[in-house]
Amino acid sequence: MQNDSRYLDLNAPAKINITLRVLRRRADGFHEIETRMVPVPDVCDRIKVEWIDGGEEGTVALVCSEPDVPVDETNLAVRAVRELQGVLGQPFPALRIVLEKGIPSGAGLGGGSSDAATVLLALNQMAKLGWTLERLAEVAGRIGSDVPFFIYGCPCDCSGRGELVKPIDEGSDLVLPPTLLVKPPFGVETPGAYKRWQDSREIPGVLYAPQSSPVGELVNDLERPVFEKFPFLAELKMWLIEREEVSAALMSGSGATVFAFLKQTAVPELEAELRAHFGEDIWIGRSAG
């Protein structure tokens, strides 16, 4: 294994689900889904990967800007190294990974999955493996359902439990409009959202039906169970939909982020109104489209 590239500094983009359909519960405990995911490069984590001279082979030192993010073997970035080493059948030289978080945790934006995919892409380049994206995606699927999507870095249709990824033909032309992403000061656990899916009920007055948008239909079957447990998110979505500046709004993934497609790029008044109505501690991300 050649290790000529000593250091890489990469962005790990967020994603949004513009469609998410839950089809059924599978025998393995996961749910069969169909979803269209789109990267949001303007919202990202930053990952620096480097070899450590003189370190013990196979060791991974992870440093993170957020103290609440685990830096042990449970972190998906570390798991990505372990999975790739396992497939290769040999350890990498000692590694340091520095993770600067720009994507909030528990947001439904795929931060941890994107980190893992970015580490795989970095190691493929640094170790000069020469693997195809398809081969990397196979390893990525062992780490988490959303990780293979981030290997491709383009709009994709995903199925199975999310690990079956197909870049969409019109992906090069699928450009998000200006987008606002809003997350309250709490996260949503994905397993719980799926567990409640089948028996959940709609909240009267909340829009769950598909919405038209510049990038096609917007719909998310997980809004029903998540909104039932977290009415705050239902209120946030409907508040956004009612704004004149917003063309459509939807929860991403299992939450807790709700994104809104905007009719214009700059809307500082809308952000101020959001904080006034929902609290100063909400997180707001922006994509220029």
CATH code, domain carrying 230: 3.30.70.890
Mean of pLDDT over the chain = 94
- Same domain, residue pair 133 and 181: no
Rounded CA-CA distance 92/87 in Å is 12
Q: What is the pLDDT of residue 4?
A: 53
- Same domain, residue pair 36 and 134: yes
- The torsion defined by the Cα of 115, 118, 119 and 120, in degrees rounded to 10, comes to 130
Last residue of a domain, one of 142, 167, 192: 167
Catalytic residue among 115, 146, 221, 237: 146
Catalytic residue among 15, 42, 45, 115: 15
Q: Is a pLDDT exceeding 80 seen at residue 144? A: yes
- Same domain, residue pair 150 and 200: no
- Tell me if 90 is assigned to some domain: yes
- Tell me if 18 is assigned to some domain: yes
237 catalytic? Reply is no
Q: Is a pLDDT exceeding 60 seen at residue 25? A: yes
- Tell me if 31 is assigned to some domain: yes
CATH number at residue 112: 3.30.230.10
- Same domain, residue pair 62 and 203: no
146 catalytic? Reply is yes
- Same domain, residue pair 102 and 21: yes
- The number of domains in the chain is 2
In terms of residue numbers, what domain contains 226? 175-287
- Tell me if 89 is assigned to some domain: yes
Over residues 60-99, the pLDDT tens digits come to 999 999 999 999 999 999 999 999 999 999 999 999 999 9
Q: What is the pLDDT of residue 1?
A: 47
User: For residues 168 and 39, is the Cβ–Cβ distance under 8 A?
Assistant: no
- Average pLDDT on 7-31 reads 94
Residues 6+ apart with CB under 8 A from 113: 76, 143, 144, 145, 146, 147, 149, 150
Q: Is a pLDDT exceeding 90 seen at residue 172? A: no
- Tell me if 1 is assigned to some domain: no
- Average pLDDT on 21-42 reads 94
Last residue of a domain, one of 135, 167, 199: 167
